[in-house]
Structure 1
Amino acid sequence: MTEQNKIVVQDFNKQVIEEGNRKAFEKLVADNFVNRSAPLDAARDREGLWHTFENILRPALADLKVNIELQIAERDWVTTRKTLTGVHTGELLGVAATGKSVSITVIDMVRIVGGKYVEHWGLNTLGQVVNQLKQS
Protein backbone atom coordinates (compact mmCIF):
# COMPACT_ATOMS: atom_id res chain seq x y z
CA MET A 1 0.00 0.00 0.00
CA THR A 2 2.80 2.47 0.81
CA GLU A 3 4.30 2.13 -2.68
CA GLN A 4 0.87 2.69 -4.25
CA ASN A 5 0.43 5.80 -2.12
CA LYS A 6 3.79 7.13 -3.34
CA ILE A 7 2.56 6.70 -6.91
CA VAL A 8 -0.60 8.69 -6.09
CA VAL A 9 1.58 11.56 -4.87
CA GLN A 10 3.87 11.30 -7.91
CA ASP A 11 0.83 11.37 -10.21
CA PHE A 12 -0.56 14.44 -8.40
CA ASN A 13 2.72 16.32 -8.76
CA LYS A 14 3.06 15.53 -12.47
CA GLN A 15 -0.55 15.68 -13.65
CA VAL A 16 -2.00 18.36 -11.37
CA ILE A 17 0.88 20.69 -10.47
CA GLU A 18 2.89 20.50 -13.69
CA GLU A 19 0.12 19.89 -16.22
CA GLY A 20 -2.93 21.51 -14.59
CA ASN A 21 -5.06 18.47 -15.38
CA ARG A 22 -8.45 19.01 -13.71
CA LYS A 23 -9.62 15.43 -14.43
CA ALA A 24 -6.57 14.06 -12.63
CA PHE A 25 -7.26 16.45 -9.74
CA GLU A 26 -10.84 15.14 -9.47
CA LYS A 27 -9.52 11.57 -9.48
CA LEU A 28 -6.72 12.15 -6.93
CA VAL A 29 -8.28 14.52 -4.36
CA ALA A 30 -11.16 13.45 -2.11
CA ASP A 31 -14.25 15.62 -1.71
CA ASN A 32 -13.54 15.91 2.03
CA PHE A 33 -9.88 16.97 1.54
CA VAL A 34 -8.43 19.33 4.18
CA ASN A 35 -5.28 21.42 3.71
CA ARG A 36 -3.96 21.91 7.24
CA SER A 37 -1.20 24.24 5.99
CA ALA A 38 -3.26 26.68 3.94
CA PRO A 39 -2.70 30.35 4.79
CA LEU A 40 -5.21 31.72 7.29
CA ASP A 41 -7.00 33.75 4.60
CA ALA A 42 -7.22 30.85 2.12
CA ALA A 43 -9.76 28.08 1.71
CA ARG A 44 -8.55 24.83 3.28
CA ASP A 45 -10.74 22.60 1.14
CA ARG A 46 -10.35 20.84 -2.18
CA GLU A 47 -11.11 23.91 -4.30
CA GLY A 48 -8.64 25.97 -2.30
CA LEU A 49 -5.96 23.47 -3.27
CA TRP A 50 -6.91 23.67 -6.95
CA HIS A 51 -6.91 27.48 -6.72
CA THR A 52 -3.32 27.50 -5.42
CA PHE A 53 -1.99 25.74 -8.48
CA GLU A 54 -4.38 26.94 -11.18
CA ASN A 55 -4.68 30.61 -10.17
CA ILE A 56 -1.46 31.39 -8.32
CA LEU A 57 1.51 29.19 -9.29
CA ARG A 58 0.82 27.99 -12.81
CA PRO A 59 -0.03 31.45 -14.27
CA ALA A 60 3.05 32.99 -12.60
CA LEU A 61 5.62 30.32 -13.45
CA ALA A 62 6.26 29.23 -17.02
CA ASP A 63 7.77 25.78 -17.53
CA LEU A 64 6.66 24.73 -14.05
CA LYS A 65 8.32 21.47 -13.09
CA VAL A 66 8.33 19.34 -9.95
CA ASN A 67 11.41 17.36 -9.01
CA ILE A 68 10.73 14.81 -6.29
CA GLU A 69 13.95 14.32 -4.35
CA LEU A 70 12.77 11.98 -1.60
CA GLN A 71 9.60 10.15 -0.57
CA ILE A 72 8.93 8.25 2.61
CA ALA A 73 5.68 6.35 3.12
CA GLU A 74 4.29 4.85 6.28
CA ARG A 75 0.74 3.60 6.84
CA ASP A 76 -1.49 6.04 4.94
CA TRP A 77 1.00 8.96 4.96
CA VAL A 78 3.49 9.98 2.27
CA THR A 79 6.14 12.60 3.02
CA THR A 80 7.80 14.17 0.02
CA ARG A 81 10.74 16.55 -0.31
CA LYS A 82 10.56 18.26 -3.68
CA THR A 83 11.51 21.36 -5.63
CA LEU A 84 9.20 23.34 -7.88
CA THR A 85 11.02 25.31 -10.57
CA GLY A 86 9.91 27.68 -13.27
CA VAL A 87 10.42 31.07 -14.86
CA HIS A 88 8.63 34.02 -13.25
CA THR A 89 6.65 35.25 -16.27
CA GLY A 90 3.40 36.32 -14.56
CA GLU A 91 2.34 38.07 -11.38
CA LEU A 92 3.13 36.02 -8.29
CA LEU A 93 1.43 37.12 -5.06
CA GLY A 94 1.56 40.78 -6.10
CA VAL A 95 5.03 40.70 -7.66
CA ALA A 96 5.12 41.55 -11.36
CA ALA A 97 6.96 39.19 -13.72
CA THR A 98 10.74 39.42 -13.50
CA GLY A 99 11.76 36.77 -16.04
CA LYS A 100 13.94 35.15 -13.38
CA SER A 101 14.20 31.45 -12.71
CA VAL A 102 12.73 30.46 -9.36
CA SER A 103 13.06 27.43 -7.16
CA ILE A 104 10.60 26.65 -4.35
CA THR A 105 11.58 23.97 -1.87
CA VAL A 106 8.65 21.99 -0.42
CA ILE A 107 8.16 19.31 2.20
CA ASP A 108 4.66 17.79 2.08
CA MET A 109 2.92 15.21 4.23
CA VAL A 110 -0.17 13.83 2.53
CA ARG A 111 -2.61 11.30 3.93
CA ILE A 112 -3.95 8.98 1.25
CA VAL A 113 -7.19 7.03 1.68
CA GLY A 114 -8.62 4.97 -1.16
CA GLY A 115 -6.06 6.35 -3.59
CA LYS A 116 -6.98 9.99 -2.88
CA TYR A 117 -5.55 12.93 -0.98
CA VAL A 118 -7.62 13.50 2.16
CA GLU A 119 -5.26 15.62 4.26
CA HIS A 120 -2.17 17.77 3.68
CA TRP A 121 0.47 19.35 5.92
CA GLY A 122 3.43 21.17 4.43
CA LEU A 123 6.24 23.69 4.55
CA ASN A 124 7.67 25.62 1.62
CA THR A 125 9.94 28.50 0.71
CA LEU A 126 7.39 30.39 -1.43
CA GLY A 127 7.42 33.38 0.94
CA GLN A 128 11.20 33.63 0.73
CA VAL A 129 11.08 33.37 -3.06
CA VAL A 130 8.49 36.16 -3.28
CA ASN A 131 10.61 38.37 -1.00
CA GLN A 132 13.65 37.78 -3.21
CA LEU A 133 11.66 38.66 -6.33
CA LYS A 134 10.48 41.90 -4.69
CA GLN A 135 14.12 42.90 -4.23
CA SER A 136 14.93 42.26 -7.88
Structure 2
Amino acid sequence: MTKEANLAATERWGAEVASAGRYDVLDEILAPSFVDHDPAPDQTPDIEGLKGFFRTMRMAFPDLKAEPVEITASDDHVAMRYTISGTHQGKFQGVAPTGRSFKVAALQLARFENGQCVERWGSTDELGMLKQLGILADVAG
Protein backbone atom coordinates (compact mmCIF):
# COMPACT_ATOMS: atom_id res chain seq x y z
CA MET A 1 0.00 0.00 0.00
CA THR A 2 0.99 3.60 -0.29
CA LYS A 3 2.20 5.87 2.43
CA GLU A 4 -0.95 7.95 1.82
CA ALA A 5 -3.13 4.97 2.79
CA ASN A 6 -1.02 4.40 5.90
CA LEU A 7 -1.35 8.07 6.83
CA ALA A 8 -5.12 7.88 6.39
CA ALA A 9 -5.29 4.81 8.66
CA THR A 10 -3.22 6.59 11.31
CA GLU A 11 -5.48 9.65 11.16
CA ARG A 12 -8.57 7.41 11.54
CA TRP A 13 -6.98 5.86 14.64
CA GLY A 14 -6.85 9.27 16.34
CA ALA A 15 -10.06 10.80 15.00
CA GLU A 16 -12.41 7.83 14.95
CA VAL A 17 -11.07 5.55 17.68
CA ALA A 18 -9.47 7.75 20.35
CA SER A 19 -11.60 10.87 19.84
CA ALA A 20 -14.95 9.35 18.78
CA GLY A 21 -14.94 5.95 20.48
CA ARG A 22 -15.45 3.88 17.32
CA TYR A 23 -13.47 0.83 18.47
CA ASP A 24 -14.62 -1.26 15.48
CA VAL A 25 -12.38 0.87 13.25
CA LEU A 26 -9.40 -0.93 14.81
CA ASP A 27 -10.58 -4.14 13.11
CA GLU A 28 -10.18 -2.36 9.77
CA ILE A 29 -6.86 -0.58 10.28
CA LEU A 30 -4.99 -3.18 12.37
CA ALA A 31 -3.82 -6.55 11.07
CA PRO A 32 -5.11 -9.64 12.94
CA SER A 33 -1.49 -10.23 14.00
CA PHE A 34 -1.13 -6.67 15.40
CA VAL A 35 1.31 -6.23 18.32
CA ASP A 36 1.42 -3.19 20.62
CA HIS A 37 4.99 -3.05 21.92
CA ASP A 38 4.10 -0.44 24.58
CA PRO A 39 0.80 -1.59 26.08
CA ALA A 40 -0.62 0.18 29.13
CA PRO A 41 -0.60 -1.67 32.46
CA ASP A 42 -3.08 -4.56 32.39
CA GLN A 43 -3.48 -4.20 28.58
CA THR A 44 -2.81 -7.19 26.36
CA PRO A 45 -0.66 -6.27 23.33
CA ASP A 46 -3.28 -7.26 20.73
CA ILE A 47 -6.32 -5.62 19.08
CA GLU A 48 -8.69 -6.57 21.91
CA GLY A 49 -6.27 -5.12 24.45
CA LEU A 50 -6.14 -1.86 22.53
CA LYS A 51 -9.93 -1.71 22.33
CA GLY A 52 -10.10 -2.26 26.09
CA PHE A 53 -7.55 0.51 26.64
CA PHE A 54 -9.61 3.00 24.65
CA ARG A 55 -12.84 1.93 26.39
CA THR A 56 -11.20 2.51 29.79
CA MET A 57 -9.79 5.88 28.72
CA ARG A 58 -13.07 7.10 27.26
CA MET A 59 -14.99 6.02 30.40
CA ALA A 60 -12.60 8.10 32.52
CA PHE A 61 -12.31 10.91 29.95
CA PRO A 62 -15.49 11.04 27.81
CA ASP A 63 -14.15 14.08 25.93
CA LEU A 64 -10.83 12.37 25.12
CA LYS A 65 -9.12 13.84 22.05
CA ALA A 66 -6.01 12.77 20.16
CA GLU A 67 -4.88 15.54 17.83
CA PRO A 68 -1.96 15.19 15.40
CA VAL A 69 0.72 17.86 15.56
CA GLU A 70 3.14 16.38 13.03
CA ILE A 71 3.04 13.22 10.93
CA THR A 72 5.63 11.76 8.61
CA ALA A 73 5.56 8.52 6.66
CA SER A 74 7.45 6.10 4.46
CA ASP A 75 5.95 3.21 2.51
CA ASP A 76 5.77 1.03 5.62
CA HIS A 77 6.08 3.32 8.68
CA VAL A 78 4.15 6.29 10.06
CA ALA A 79 5.57 8.46 12.84
CA MET A 80 3.22 10.85 14.59
CA ARG A 81 3.67 13.50 17.26
CA TYR A 82 0.31 14.39 18.79
CA THR A 83 -1.44 15.71 21.88
CA ILE A 84 -3.90 13.85 24.08
CA SER A 85 -6.39 15.79 26.16
CA GLY A 86 -9.47 15.17 28.25
CA THR A 87 -11.40 15.93 31.42
CA HIS A 88 -11.37 13.43 34.31
CA GLN A 89 -15.08 12.55 34.65
CA GLY A 90 -14.90 8.82 35.47
CA LYS A 91 -12.78 6.54 37.62
CA PHE A 92 -9.17 6.36 36.35
CA GLN A 93 -6.52 4.03 37.78
CA GLY A 94 -8.65 3.65 40.90
CA VAL A 95 -9.00 7.41 41.39
CA ALA A 96 -12.43 9.05 41.57
CA PRO A 97 -13.10 11.84 39.05
CA THR A 98 -11.30 15.08 39.82
CA GLY A 99 -13.06 17.19 37.19
CA ARG A 100 -9.63 18.45 36.11
CA SER A 101 -8.40 18.50 32.53
CA PHE A 102 -5.09 17.47 31.01
CA LYS A 103 -3.23 17.98 27.75
CA VAL A 104 0.03 16.12 27.14
CA ALA A 105 2.41 15.25 24.33
CA ALA A 106 2.68 11.78 22.82
CA LEU A 107 4.60 9.97 20.08
CA GLN A 108 3.74 6.90 18.05
CA LEU A 109 5.55 4.84 15.45
CA ALA A 110 3.50 2.33 13.48
CA ARG A 111 4.65 -0.28 10.95
CA PHE A 112 2.30 -1.24 8.13
CA GLU A 113 1.99 -4.26 5.84
CA ASN A 114 -0.62 -4.56 3.10
CA GLY A 115 -2.49 -1.46 4.28
CA GLN A 116 -2.85 -2.49 7.93
CA CYS A 117 -0.82 -1.64 11.02
CA VAL A 118 1.08 -4.69 12.27
CA GLU A 119 3.18 -3.12 15.04
CA ARG A 120 3.01 -0.03 17.24
CA TRP A 121 5.46 1.66 19.60
CA GLY A 122 4.59 4.76 21.58
CA SER A 123 5.27 7.08 24.46
CA THR A 124 2.96 9.46 26.32
CA ASP A 125 3.75 12.02 29.02
CA GLU A 126 1.91 10.02 31.69
CA LEU A 127 3.66 11.82 34.54
CA GLY A 128 2.52 15.18 33.18
CA MET A 129 -1.01 13.83 32.84
CA LEU A 130 -1.14 12.63 36.47
CA LYS A 131 0.25 15.96 37.70
CA GLN A 132 -2.29 18.00 35.70
CA LEU A 133 -5.13 15.86 37.05
CA GLY A 134 -3.92 16.41 40.62
CA ILE A 135 -3.45 12.66 41.09
CA LEU A 136 0.30 13.00 41.61
CA ALA A 137 1.89 15.92 43.41
CA ASP A 138 4.88 17.67 41.92
CA VAL A 139 8.12 16.03 42.95
CA ALA A 140 10.60 18.46 44.45
CA GLY A 141 14.33 18.37 43.83
Name the TM-score, length of structure 2 as normaliser. Answer: 0.86
Structure 1 unmatched ranges of 5 or more:
none
Deviations 1:78-121 (A, max 9, x none): 00000111111111112221111111321000112222221000
Match of 2:124 in 1: 124
Which structure shows the bigger proportion of residues in strand conformation? Answer: 1
Q: How many residues align?
A: 135
Question: Shift of residue 12 of structure 1?
Answer: 1.2
C-alpha separation in 1, matches of 2:126 and 2:26: 22
User: Does the 8 Å CA contact 2:40/2:53 hold for their aligned counterparts?
Assistant: no
- Structure 2: distance between partners of 1:63 and 1:41: 23
**Does the 8 A contact of 1:93 with 1:130 survive in 2?**
no
Distance 1:69 1:134 in 2: 26
CA distance in 1, matches of 2:55, 2:23: 9
Give the corresponding residue for 1:51.
52
Match of 1:134 in 2: 135
Distance 1:74 1:93 in 2: 36
Specify the alignment match of 1:97 in structure 2: 97
The within-5 A match list for 1:25-36 is: 25-36=26-37
**Which of the two has greater helix per residue?**
1
How far 1:40 moved relative to its partner?
6.2
Partner of 1:66: 66
Task: Please list every run of 5 or more consecutive structure 2 residues that lacks an aligned counterpart in the other structure.
Answer: none
Query: What amino acid does structure 1 have at the position aligned with 2:46?
Result: D
Query: In percent, how many aligned pairs have the same letter?
Result: 29
